[in-house]
Amino acid sequence: MIRHPDIRIAATIAARSARVAGVLLVTAAMVTVASFAQTVPVPKPAPKGREGGGSGGPAVTGATQTPPNPVIPDPRRNVPSSIFQTFDANQKAQAAKVSAYLSSLSTLVGNFVQVGPDGSKTQGDFYIQKPGKVRFEYNAPSPIDIVADGSSLVVRDRKLATQDVYPLSQTPLRFLLSDRIDLMKDTNVVNVSADDVFVSVTIEEKQALVGTSRLLLMFGAKDGQLKQWTVTDPQGYDTTIAVYNLDSSKKLDPGMFKIDFTNYGPAPG
């Protein structure tokens, strides 16, 4: 049992941060609301004032897709982790392509399907503006918003008028929101694989207080676009987010990523 108050608080923050990643990211998310097995509730319609007006979902270039069925990783999988991990030339080339794709994005808008640890599904829209800004909006009736403004990330409950605030640097979302990234240099990549459908990259993070978490990123083998990610928290619970109807050309209203510190107070406890 953790007895020292400072250690207990640090462990709580680290555990919540790992959960918020799943949201995305995110979620989706990386935050522990009640327990690791609890799915994150579903957040609200699009905010007012974004470019283009209206209250519908994100504008999409090309044909509109139907929601995909997320690929759920085998819970029995065991990803090797070693400080001596080596990669062959093909794996390095695949990781370089993924790094180039992520670095090429300045904005990304789309829809998502989230599968929680208990298998339940939720859907919504997401908006990314790099570096460091993201907004997740789940379909009603959830009162939750997830917003990152470049330095902080909040999980907000509109019904209770409270919000939890986390440093963005402590969440796995930072990998997707970095302006430029070289996965092999900037992260701890423990696995790179490819088949006819997906190129997959697994990133591992070790935290002294709560254990090891992983982020599995999956990209289309043919089009190179982001398809989904899975966050595995230190307790072994997976949250998977599949994204679709992606649009990297839309200009976003900066106000979408503003954190309201006036009308929302800290969560009780």
Per-residue pLDDT tens digits for 80-97? 656 567 899 999 999 999
> Mean pLDDT in the chain?
78
User: Does residue 74 carry a pLDDT above 50?
Assistant: yes
For residue 73, the cross-strand partners are none
Q: How far is residue 183's CA from residue 181's CA, in Å, rounded to a whole number?
A: 6
Q: What is the DSSP letter of 258?
A: -
**Model confidence pLDDT, tens digit, residues 210-220:** 788 899 999 99
Residue 18 predicted with pLDDT over 50: no
What pLDDT sits at residue 4?
54
Q: What is the pLDDT of residue 106?
A: 96
- Are 247 and 109 in contact, with CB atoms under 8 Å apart? yes
Domains observed in the chain: 5-47+91-260 (2.50.20.10)
Q: Which residues of 21-54 are buried (b: 16+ CB within 10 A; e: fewer)?
A: bbbbbbbbbbbbbeebeebbbbbbebbeebeeee
pLDDT confidence tier of residue 42, bands split at 50, 70 and 90: very low
The CA-atom distances, in angstroms, between 227 and each of 10, 169, 221, 260 are 33, 23, 10, 31
Mean pLDDT within 232-260: 94
